[in-house]
Every structure is written in structure tokens, then in C-alpha cells.
A and B are shown apart, each in its own frame.
Chain A
């Protein structure tokens, strides 16, 4: 009995080890390609272990870092503003919904929740933002469309409804009004939820590409992910239309080569991969709180 037990555990551990490798190895391929000499890439293809190690791709990118730095700047700005404002609005809306004694509690919940079920879709939003709000090529077009997600509001509400009403009532007796109660009592008590959601929202902004694809043409306002989109698109365009580029007399070798492309991907995704393991336990905790009903 005991022996069999050990064996099954070993088997499960082995299975998870293999799965973990399957998940992680693809990233190593991208990193390996970015560190391989271009000539050896052409000869041997993409390999997990560089045949000729080279930092040329990174040197090439960091020689003229303007584009990359600007993209970092845009992404940072958008992420910080978006996360702060988004978090505050999420908390404010969620708090009001979490108050069982608020008269418009159900109406507000429905108002927010309904947007999860039904939406105008892409085209009306696109026209609203470009034709009526005139936000094309504005950083606001990157921030506003994803500022407030109903799902986050529900997660936050789940956390806040666990704060006992007595705390709020006693504060009221002491003469505090709702704004003061919210900012001085509720927000500090919600720090764990704020941290979790703040991180989730930051990750969302960091990884945002869709609105950038729709609304950003100005090369000075291209965020990191859009830079990646454009590089990826241009690779495919150039490699599948080599006759075309040949006719135009464009020399392909002067374009960012394979290792440089992968190096861009590493530089854009790297920070996330480094930061993420440190915050993972917060996520796990926060998600556990939010995903369970009640």
C-alpha cells in the first residue's frame, strides 16, 4: 500500500515536471534565437542551444534605442495612469454596490453587470472614440476603453462586502460622512484587494495592443505591444513577399534580422517575466478570494 502510494506521487510529479517544461521551453527558444549569431541562424535554423553565441542583436537594438525607449515610455505612462485611476474608480463603484443599505444598490449592480452581458461591440465604440471624442492618436485612447471592467468591480465588491457594517455605522455615529468613511476606513481595509486588482489592471495595460492597433498611428505614441505587432507583421510581409521587395530594390539584410526581432520580443516581454513570479502569490490569494462565490 505504502509503496504504491509513493509511486503514484512520483508519477504525478513527473507529469507536472514535463508539463512545466512544455510551458517554459518555448520562451527559451525565443531567448536562444535572440542570442544566436545571424549567420548560424540561417544555416542551422532556430535552435534551443545557440551554435554561435552572439549579442549582436541586442547591440544593434541598443545602438539606436529611441524607438524602444519611447515605446517603454508610452507603456509606462499608460500603465501607471490607467492602473491608478482605474483602481480608484473600481473601488468607488464596488464599495457603493457592496453597501447593502444603499437604496440604489440593485440598480447599480444591474447597470454595471449588464455591460458584461451585452455590448455595442467594436464598430460603435470605434466611431465614438474616433468621430465623437476625437481621441485618435491620443494616449487617452489607450487608457479609457479598458479603464473599468465589470469583472474587477465584482471581484472588489466580493471583498468589500466582507467588511462588517458595524465599522461603517460606528464611524457614522462619530460623525464621519460617506466620503471620509470610504477614503479613511474602507480603502485602507481593502489593501489586499487593491494590491491584487492593481496588479491585474497594470498587467492588462502593459499587455494592451488592441486599442493601440485601432487608434494609434503616430510613431511617437506607439506602445511596446504595438511595436511588437508591427515588427511581427512586417516580418511576415517581407518573408512571404520576397519577389515584391526584390522588385522594389529593398535590401532585406538591412531590415531587422531574425535575432533582432526575437531580441525585441525578449526586451518587451522580459520585465513581465522577471516581475511576475514575485507577485504570483498575491494573485493566487486574490483570485481565490474573488473566484469563489459569496
Chain B
């Protein structure tokens, strides 16, 4: 995504003409700045916005090392060193939310990527007219909020009137209190997640497949390749860059769970925290329901730092193997 134009080439456009009087470093920079000031001004609102809403909160992370009090503010509150972290890691909460976040994300990535790739490859086999129709249907949930999907889930899982329990009863089986029974939730969440995102991911991979030069397939057909051979020998290798970029991004987000999915689908039910709670829902509850600001900040800090390390590692590994496919 980032541009890779050599620095020398970029400087050429704005550099001082050769043979001018020698200037000090500051003088030169000022000169360059004057040449670039209009473009800089164009980007200024965006830069300021990011400063306030992205960079200043990064400074606010020091709350994780303080005992935050609203009346004293970020800088007035007392330092407590690593106490917040010690507290977080001595209870089993840290382990539970970390495990859930990582396992769920791994499952979403594995299930989601393979399902979407498979559907994209299959979609490439059918007439465009039909594939448009299926795309629209599969894409639909992508545009609805998790809250709304929460209603859909509720219509199915509601204890007394829900579709699933009524169906179970009609077969003479006992109804299940879905919102009080933690056992089946990993499966429910994976299915709901797949249901919501598979259309979008299929579309991204499908767009990639369409972009593959059809001559490869022609040549393979002449050589007598089967459909399956074409998928494994042409489509998947040529799709590797897109797949890898998507994977790096999702690995970097390994520690960032989908709040909406884990909050609205289980309906924030306390019975289910053991198997549905992730770092994000925990941080939200610690802040809004429990009111433990510092603890919540410490958890958020842990999440951000590990997330950064993960994405850097993932990108580093990919760059080692094949530098063309890395993100930067």
C-alpha cells in the first residue's frame, strides 16, 4: 500500500536548483517547506485531526500506570507503577480474555478465509448474471449493524418463543436456555461471524480472481488441466499476495476482537462471559459498568502493545520469505 518510490526521485521535484548559495540546514528546510506549503496546508486538517484523536490518546496510555481520578485528571493522578497490570494478571481474567480473543480470532481467520476462497473460486465457475445475484444476497448482512444482527439472533435463540427452541419442542426435545448456557457459544459466534462477513470476503477474493490473466487458464486447459488443478496451481498461487495482506492485517488484529459481535449476539449476558468475553468487551465493561478506569486502561495498553508487536512480527516474517508480499 505504501509507495516505494526512491527518495532521490522524490527530492528531485522540490530540491533547490544546483549552484545556489550554500544554506544552513534550517535554511534549506525552510526553503523546502515554502515550496511545499500549499500541499502541507491541504493535509493540515487531517493531520490535526489525527493528532487530537489518535496521537494524544496514545499519551493518555500513561493512565495505565496511574490511579486515575476524574477530579485530578490524567496528569494530576498518582503514579502507581505496575499495580494495575499486577492486579489484572493475578486474577484469571487476563488469561480468560486473552485466550478467548486469540482463539476466536484464529477460528474466524481460518474458517472465514477458507470459506471465502472456496466460494470465490466456485463463483468464478458460474455465469456472471447468477453470480451477481448470489453476491447481493451474501453481501447483505455486511451492511447491517451488529445490533440489528443481535435482534436476528434473538429471534432464533430467545428461550420461550425463539425459532430454535420452538423447533426443538416440536420434535419433542427440551428447549435450551441459550443466553444462560455457555457451552454452545463458540459455535454460535463462529457461525454468526461467518454469516455476516463471508459475502464481503468472497467478493474481495472474487475480484482478485477476475483480475487474473485468462491466458493462464487457456494454457492450462490446452495442457489438459482439471478444474481442481487450475485452482491449486494457478488461482491460489496468484491470489497469494491478497491472501497474505489480509492475513497480516488480521494477525495484527489478533488482539482486537469484534466488540459488536461479542457484545450484542450474546446480549452481554453475564452467564456467558466465560466463553464469549474478549479483551474489548472486558475493557468496555471495566470502564462503563464497573467504573475501574485505570484497570480498563491497563488492559487496553496490553492489547495495543501486543497488537503492534504481532503485526510487526507478521510483516517481518512475510518480508523474510517474500518481500514483495509484505505490507511495507
Contact = CB atoms under 8 A, between A and B. Distances in A.
A121 to B, nearest CB: 3
B46 A89 contact: yes
B43 interface: yes
Contacts of B133: 20
A277 to B, nearest CB: 6
B36 A102 contact: yes
Interface in B48-86: 49-50, 52-61, 63, 68, 70, 73-74
Nearest to A121: B300
Interface string B124-148: 0110001101111111110111111
Contacts, number: 308
Contacts of B207: 284, 287-288, 291-292
Contact of B137 (A23, A113, A161): A23
A122 interface: yes
B14 A120 contact: no
Interface stretch (A62-70, A189-197, A226-234, A248-256): A226-234
Nearest to A155: B1
B30 to A, nearest CB: 12
A272 B143 contact: yes
Interface stretch (A52-60, A76-84, A207-215): A207-215
Interface residues of B, number: 115
A261 B151 contact: yes
Given A46-B158, A225-B147, A272-B143, A103 B35 contact: yes
Contacts of A122: 280, 283-284, 287, 296, 300
B154 A124 contact: no
Nearest to A88: B45
Among A44, A124, A145, chain B packs the most CB atoms within 10 A around the CB of A124
A41 B161 contact: yes
Contacts of B301: 121
B39 A292 contact: no
| Chain A: interface size category | 35 or more
Contacts of B38: 177-179
Contacts of A163: none
A177 B39 CA distance: 10
A230 to B, nearest CB: 10
Interface string A29-57: 11001000000011011111000000000
Interface stretch (B89-97, B102-110, B215-223, B304-312): B304-312
A131 B287 CA distance: 14
Nearest to A265: B151
B134 A124 contact: no
Given A22-B195, A100-B3, A207 B46 contact: no
A13 B129 CA distance: 12
Nearest to A272: B143
B137 A291 contact: no
B288 interface: yes
Given A46-B162, A125-B53, A225 B145 contact: yes
A117 interface: yes
A260 interface: no
A89 B268 contact: no
Contacts of A272: 143-144
9 contacts: A20-B134, A93-B42, A103-B35, A121-B301, A127-B60, A225-B148, A232-B267, A272-B143, A272-B144
Interface of B: 1-3, 5, 7, 9-14, 32-33, 35-36, 38-43, 45-47, 49-50, 52-61, 63, 68, 70, 73-74, 119, 122-123, 125-126, 130-131, 133-141, 143-148, 150-152, 154-156, 158-163, 165-166, 179-180, 195, 199, 203-204, 207-208, 210-211, 227, 241-242, 245, 252, 259-260, 264, 267-269, 280, 283-284, 287-288, 293, 296-297, 300-301, 303-304, 307-308, 311-312, 328
